[in-house]
Amino acid sequence: MSKDKTPYESPVVIGCDHAAYPLKEAIKAFLQEKGVDVVDAGCHGLESVNYPDFAKEVAGKVSDGTYPRGILLCGTGLGMSMAANRFKGIRAALVSDGFSARMSRMHNDSNILVMGARVIGESLALDLVQTWMETPFEGGRHLDRLQMFDSFK
Protein backbone atom coordinates (compact mmCIF):
# COMPACT_ATOMS: atom_id res chain seq x y z
CA MET A 1 0.00 0.00 0.00
CA SER A 2 1.40 3.42 -0.91
CA LYS A 3 1.91 6.11 1.74
CA ASP A 4 -1.11 8.16 0.65
CA LYS A 5 -3.52 5.24 1.01
CA THR A 6 -5.40 4.90 4.28
CA PRO A 7 -4.67 1.58 6.03
CA TYR A 8 -8.33 0.55 6.30
CA GLU A 9 -9.26 -2.89 7.52
CA SER A 10 -9.37 -5.17 4.51
CA PRO A 11 -11.01 -7.10 2.89
CA VAL A 12 -14.53 -5.71 2.99
CA VAL A 13 -17.42 -7.70 1.54
CA ILE A 14 -20.16 -5.63 -0.10
CA GLY A 15 -23.63 -6.53 -1.32
CA CYS A 16 -26.71 -4.74 -2.59
CA ASP A 17 -30.01 -5.17 -4.40
CA HIS A 18 -31.08 -3.53 -7.66
CA ALA A 19 -32.13 -0.30 -5.89
CA ALA A 20 -28.57 0.29 -4.72
CA TYR A 21 -26.49 -1.16 -7.54
CA PRO A 22 -25.04 2.20 -8.72
CA LEU A 23 -24.17 3.13 -5.12
CA LYS A 24 -22.45 -0.22 -4.60
CA GLU A 25 -20.30 0.42 -7.65
CA ALA A 26 -19.37 3.91 -6.36
CA ILE A 27 -18.44 2.60 -2.90
CA LYS A 28 -16.43 -0.24 -4.39
CA ALA A 29 -14.39 2.21 -6.49
CA PHE A 30 -13.95 4.54 -3.50
CA LEU A 31 -12.59 1.76 -1.27
CA GLN A 32 -10.40 0.24 -3.97
CA GLU A 33 -8.87 3.67 -4.54
CA LYS A 34 -7.91 3.60 -0.84
CA GLY A 35 -6.22 0.24 -1.22
CA VAL A 36 -9.02 -1.87 0.27
CA ASP A 37 -9.59 -5.35 -1.13
CA VAL A 38 -13.33 -5.33 -1.87
CA VAL A 39 -15.19 -8.63 -2.28
CA ASP A 40 -18.28 -8.01 -4.43
CA ALA A 41 -21.14 -10.32 -3.43
CA GLY A 42 -23.52 -8.77 -6.01
CA CYS A 43 -25.98 -7.94 -7.31
CA HIS A 44 -24.46 -7.03 -10.64
CA GLY A 45 -27.10 -4.97 -12.39
CA LEU A 46 -30.38 -3.09 -12.24
CA GLU A 47 -32.76 -6.01 -12.76
CA SER A 48 -34.97 -6.79 -9.77
CA VAL A 49 -33.52 -9.20 -7.21
CA ASN A 50 -34.41 -10.24 -3.64
CA TYR A 51 -32.34 -8.35 -1.07
CA PRO A 52 -32.31 -11.20 1.52
CA ASP A 53 -30.15 -13.29 -0.84
CA PHE A 54 -27.44 -10.65 -0.67
CA ALA A 55 -27.88 -9.96 3.03
CA LYS A 56 -27.32 -13.68 3.59
CA GLU A 57 -24.21 -13.73 1.44
CA VAL A 58 -22.59 -10.76 3.22
CA ALA A 59 -23.81 -11.25 6.80
CA GLY A 60 -23.20 -15.00 6.62
CA LYS A 61 -19.58 -14.45 5.67
CA VAL A 62 -18.99 -11.84 8.37
CA SER A 63 -20.78 -14.04 10.89
CA ASP A 64 -18.60 -17.07 10.11
CA GLY A 65 -15.39 -15.00 10.20
CA THR A 66 -14.59 -15.20 6.49
CA TYR A 67 -14.48 -11.38 6.36
CA PRO A 68 -14.08 -8.90 9.23
CA ARG A 69 -16.49 -6.30 7.86
CA GLY A 70 -19.26 -5.86 5.36
CA ILE A 71 -21.39 -3.21 3.70
CA LEU A 72 -25.02 -3.77 2.65
CA LEU A 73 -27.14 -1.45 0.53
CA CYS A 74 -30.76 -1.49 -0.58
CA GLY A 75 -33.42 1.14 -1.25
CA THR A 76 -34.04 2.13 2.35
CA GLY A 77 -31.44 0.00 4.13
CA LEU A 78 -34.26 -1.38 6.28
CA GLY A 79 -34.61 -4.82 4.74
CA MET A 80 -30.87 -5.39 4.60
CA SER A 81 -30.36 -4.38 8.24
CA MET A 82 -33.26 -6.54 9.45
CA ALA A 83 -32.00 -9.56 7.54
CA ALA A 84 -28.33 -9.09 8.46
CA ASN A 85 -29.06 -8.77 12.18
CA ARG A 86 -30.56 -12.28 12.20
CA PHE A 87 -27.03 -13.69 11.90
CA LYS A 88 -25.06 -14.54 15.03
CA GLY A 89 -22.46 -11.95 15.92
CA ILE A 90 -23.71 -9.44 13.37
CA ARG A 91 -24.06 -5.84 14.45
CA ALA A 92 -25.46 -4.22 11.33
CA ALA A 93 -25.96 -0.46 11.65
CA LEU A 94 -28.36 1.38 9.36
CA VAL A 95 -26.90 4.83 9.13
CA SER A 96 -27.67 8.08 7.31
CA ASP A 97 -25.71 10.66 9.33
CA GLY A 98 -22.09 11.09 10.35
CA PHE A 99 -22.66 11.03 14.10
CA SER A 100 -24.45 7.69 13.94
CA ALA A 101 -21.81 6.25 11.60
CA ARG A 102 -19.09 7.21 14.10
CA MET A 103 -20.99 6.06 17.16
CA SER A 104 -21.91 2.76 15.52
CA ARG A 105 -18.21 1.98 15.56
CA MET A 106 -17.18 3.63 18.87
CA HIS A 107 -19.98 2.23 21.03
CA ASN A 108 -21.51 -0.63 19.04
CA ASP A 109 -18.52 -2.06 17.17
CA SER A 110 -20.75 -2.39 14.12
CA ASN A 111 -19.36 -4.93 11.69
CA ILE A 112 -21.80 -4.24 8.86
CA LEU A 113 -22.59 -0.76 7.59
CA VAL A 114 -26.04 -0.47 5.99
CA MET A 115 -27.27 2.47 3.95
CA GLY A 116 -30.34 3.24 1.85
CA ALA A 117 -29.58 4.35 -1.69
CA ARG A 118 -33.04 5.92 -1.99
CA VAL A 119 -32.52 7.82 1.25
CA ILE A 120 -29.09 9.43 0.93
CA GLY A 121 -26.98 10.65 -1.96
CA GLU A 122 -23.70 9.21 -3.14
CA SER A 123 -21.47 11.92 -1.62
CA LEU A 124 -22.93 11.47 1.85
CA ALA A 125 -22.75 7.69 1.51
CA LEU A 126 -19.03 7.83 0.66
CA ASP A 127 -18.43 10.16 3.59
CA LEU A 128 -20.23 7.73 5.92
CA VAL A 129 -18.17 4.83 4.58
CA GLN A 130 -14.99 6.79 5.28
CA THR A 131 -16.08 7.67 8.83
CA TRP A 132 -17.14 4.07 9.51
CA MET A 133 -13.89 2.62 8.18
CA GLU A 134 -11.71 5.07 10.15
CA THR A 135 -13.43 4.98 13.55
CA PRO A 136 -12.20 2.43 16.11
CA PHE A 137 -14.28 0.63 18.75
CA GLU A 138 -13.81 2.08 22.24
CA GLY A 139 -14.20 -1.25 24.06
CA GLY A 140 -14.50 -1.13 27.87
CA ARG A 141 -18.07 -0.80 29.13
CA HIS A 142 -19.34 -0.96 25.55
CA LEU A 143 -17.86 -4.43 25.13
CA ASP A 144 -19.73 -5.61 28.23
CA ARG A 145 -22.98 -4.34 26.71
CA LEU A 146 -22.37 -6.00 23.35
CA GLN A 147 -21.66 -9.27 25.12
CA MET A 148 -25.04 -8.94 26.84
CA PHE A 149 -26.99 -9.00 23.60
CA ASP A 150 -24.66 -11.49 21.99
CA SER A 151 -26.05 -14.01 24.50
CA PHE A 152 -29.65 -13.56 23.30
CA LYS A 153 -31.13 -16.50 21.43
Interaction site with ligand RB5 (CB under 6 A): 17, 19, 51, 74-76, 78-79
- Work out the number of other CB atoms within 10 angstroms of the CB of residue 118: 11
Between 76 and 104, name the residue whose CB sits nearer to ligand RB5: 76
Between 38 and 117, name the residue whose CB sits nearer to ligand RB5: 117
Q: What are phi and psi for residue 40, nearest 5 degrees?
A: -95, 110
The answer to whether residues 115 and 104 touch, using CB atoms and an 8 Å cutoff, is: no
> Is 74 assigned a catalytic role?
yes
Between 31 and 72, name the residue whose CB sits nearer to ligand RB5: 72
Give the residue nearest to ligand RB5 (CB).
79
The catalytic position among 43, 44, 74, 142 is 74
The helix (run of H) or strand (run of E) holding residue 123 is helix 122-134
Q: C-beta of 130: minimal distance to ligand RB5 in Å?
A: 23
Q: Is 23 helix (H, G, I), strand (E, B) or coil?
A: helix
C-alpha to C-alpha distances, 128 to 63, 93, 99, 124, 144, nearest whole angstrom? 22, 12, 9, 6, 26
Give the span between the Cα atoms of 105 and 111, in whole angstroms.
8
Q: C-beta of 128: minimal distance to ligand RB5 in Å?
A: 17
Q: C-beta of 51: minimal distance to ligand RB5 in Å?
A: 5
Between 8 and 51, name the residue whose CB sits nearer to ligand RB5: 51
Q: C-beta of 24: minimal distance to ligand RB5 in Å?
A: 12
Active site residues: 74, 107
